[in-house]
Chain A
Amino acid sequence: MKSYSTALYLPITFVITTSIYADHSISWDGTLYGYVETMNVRRDSILNPNNQIAALSSRTATIETRLNFKLELENWDFTARPILLMNEKSNNSVTKDNNAAYFSQWQARFHATDNVNISIGREVLNWGPAQFKSLASPFYFDNGRSNPMRELSGMDNIKIAWSPNINNTITLARINKSGHDLPNDWNNSWLLKLDTRSNELATGIAILRYPNVNTFIGMYGQYTANDSLLLYTEIASSVDVKRQIDTLMGIAWTFDNGQTLNLEYMRNNHGFNSDEIHAYFNQASVNYAQAAYALSHLPLLLGKDYLHLVWQSNPLETYIYWRIMATHSITDHGNELSAYAEYTLNESTSLFGMAIVNLGNERQEFSSLLHNNFNLGIKIAFP
């Protein structure tokens, strides 16, 4: 088990620092998560036959503490979000402990002027209004959906942000390295981002330049047409074999009761068409080595065209929150259904549950590895 000393170092530094500065405010809080997960692995999977390649756990029990520390001085803010994680994964008769302590995010921010902030830290650099995928950000394409119970970990960066007014911000960041558990694909890259926010419109463009790789360009826009209707889009231009543009368009309608229906369509030009998907699974089915190769090169999104539907309760409601999602691959006709619900027991405690059901066969993207996945847990906020 890793030592927790790393995750506790910064908070202790905070306390020492506060004793030096008289004019400061310090705060902390945390949330304890306890949840169990069952995963129904597909035995006839082509990519993971009999679960012998990926060795996915059928049961996982997790206890996770997510802490927040904040210290505010006159011109400085320090924040840290250490995560202490303990989980036990079981797969048939094999049980494995997996413990970790790390900073999901941390930041030291200097207010150089009223309009300019300079910061160093680990920060989630994710933006845009889309729910299905985050096209406008190069770092978090799948928006955390590959493991929805875990929160995203930040990118290590040094950043300067200039907001001449409340409507515009220009950000320049140097990405030193990927954060805690992300691939090191973006080390030593530069990010330039421009955001605008007006009465009904919000737009942004992000340009990422990284060594020896062609530039990534991401854009987003959202338009609040009226009290009920929100229109939005995210666009990405990046180079795989050749430069391709991926697009996502979304519409959200809010009903009188506060529930919202989102419908998103995504065109993934980096993905395979139906013939290519067929060939991909055919190649993987030749032998274990081919299956392992196909699995290790499984793209974040296999097909070209997707529909994503979200129906959710008002996130501003205080006692019950629920969300139902359905994703349909127009390319291979597979479907994924998922639901999340959270019920408040008291001021500090809530119960939550999540279910993901994949409909389709072993040659369709969503159902290629798992039949279903269920989570049930409790969340306790403190102090």
Chain B
Amino acid sequence: MQYKFICHCSARSANIASQFRSRSRRRLPGIIWEINLVSTENGRVIDAQDFEVSAIEEASVAETLRPPRFRGSKLLQIGHNMWITRPGLSKPIPISPRQRLSGMVSNGDIAATNYVGDYNPELVGEETVQSEPCYVLELTAKHKRATYNRIRYWISKSREVGVKAEFYSLSNKLMKIANFNYKNNIVYAEKTIPFISDMTIKDALMDAVTTMKYGTITVKSISPNKFDLGQIQ
């Protein structure tokens, strides 16, 4: 499962789509955070995992901290290339981007969605989400590699962050609904930037919910060596 910094972008003016692009280009030198993931099916907890994620530019490394049987496993992503490695494995194994889409791991892909890189935004209206006025963006896949054919994305007018998203398949079927909260803040270049604190993903096709809580966030430069396959194990 892998995660990448999510740029939940601003919406100050009518030209929200343009701002969506430009705001997303703002880069941090690197960011490290921890995720606690709990998945339930029919109200029963079926999976609980903790990760530490390091991300820079288009690269990320997610290291499993819990459960014990997966401790030390790492998932490296650089662009669309992905590898998995575990302590004692003979070498990192390349895996396909589609493998992160099946089963329980599929929710990791929502956390990793590259909204700007993979989708073209278009402002389609304004709606209210939980009493909060929002802009609504329609994100259309730029290329076949994008996970979902389209995403409907709600951005708070006042807080300038994404608060909800709906993910649709190629056949235009609603697959998942995600809600985002921002109780974390990170400070960079003397600016305070809201950072996601928790994400709830509901499966539209079955009674399954995954909650991800984000914490221990650090903005700092990360050595490129961390993303070298020869030094990752």
A: residues with CB less than 8 A from B are 29, 31, 66, 68, 81, 104, 109, 111, 114-117, 124-129, 134, 137, 140, 143-144, 151-152, 161, 163-167, 169, 171, 193, 195, 197-202, 222, 224, 226-230, 232, 252, 254-258, 260, 314-318, 344, 347-350, 379, 381-383
B229 at the interface (CB under 8 A from A): yes
How far does the alpha carbon of A29 sit from the alpha carbon of B66 in the complex, in Å? 11
Chain B: interface residue total (CB-CB under 8 A): 53
Quick check: A114 and B88 within 8 Å, CB to CB?
no
Quick check: B104 and A317 within 8 Å, CB to CB?
yes
Quick check: A167 and B78 within 8 Å, CB to CB?
yes
Quick check: A260 and B90 within 8 Å, CB to CB?
no
How far does the alpha carbon of A166 sit from the alpha carbon of B223 in the complex, in Å? 8
Contact of A224 among B81, B102, B228 (CB under 8 A): B81
Which parts of B178-233 form the interface with A (CB within 8 Å)? 221, 223-225, 227-231, 233
Most buried by B among A128, A232, A254: A254
Quick check: B68 and A29 within 8 Å, CB to CB?
yes
B230 contacts which chain A residues (CB < 8 A)? 125, 127, 161, 169, 171, 193, 195
B93 at the interface (CB under 8 A from A): yes
Residue of A nearest to B47 (CB): A318
Contact of B102 among A66, A257, A349, A379 (CB under 8 A): A257
Quick check: B223 and A316 within 8 Å, CB to CB?
no
A230 contacts which chain B residues (CB < 8 A)? 94, 96
* Dominant SS among interface residues on chain B: mixed
Which parts of B87-133 form the interface with A (CB within 8 Å)? 87-105
B80 at the interface (CB under 8 A from A): yes
B228 contacts which chain A residues (CB < 8 A)? 161, 163, 169, 195
CB distance from B211 to the nearest CB of A (A): 16
A202 contacts which chain B residues (CB < 8 A)? 78, 81, 94, 229
Which parts of B131-152 form the interface with A (CB within 8 Å)? 144-145, 147
B44 at the interface (CB under 8 A from A): no
A317 contacts which chain B residues (CB < 8 A)? 102-105
Quick check: A227 and B96 within 8 Å, CB to CB?
yes
Quick check: B99 and A222 within 8 Å, CB to CB?
no
Quick check: A228 and B96 within 8 Å, CB to CB?
yes
How far does the alpha carbon of A140 sit from the alpha carbon of B91 in the complex, in Å? 10
Quick check: A124 and B67 within 8 Å, CB to CB?
no
Quick check: B90 and A151 within 8 Å, CB to CB?
yes
Contact of A258 among B75, B80, B103 (CB under 8 A): B103
B163 at the interface (CB under 8 A from A): no
B90 contacts which chain A residues (CB < 8 A)? 124, 126, 134, 140, 143-144, 151-152
Known: A224-B80, A227-B98, A316-B105. A66 touches B223 (CB 8 A): no
The segment out of B5-13, B15-23, B53-61, B154-162 that lies at the interface is: B53-61
13 A-B pairs within 8 Å (CB atoms) are namely A164-B224, A166-B58, A169-B228, A197-B81, A200-B80, A202-B81, A224-B80, A226-B145, A254-B99, A316-B99, A317-B103, A344-B69, A348-B67
Quick check: A29 and B94 within 8 Å, CB to CB?
no
Quick check: B69 and A314 within 8 Å, CB to CB?
no
B1 at the interface (CB under 8 A from A): yes
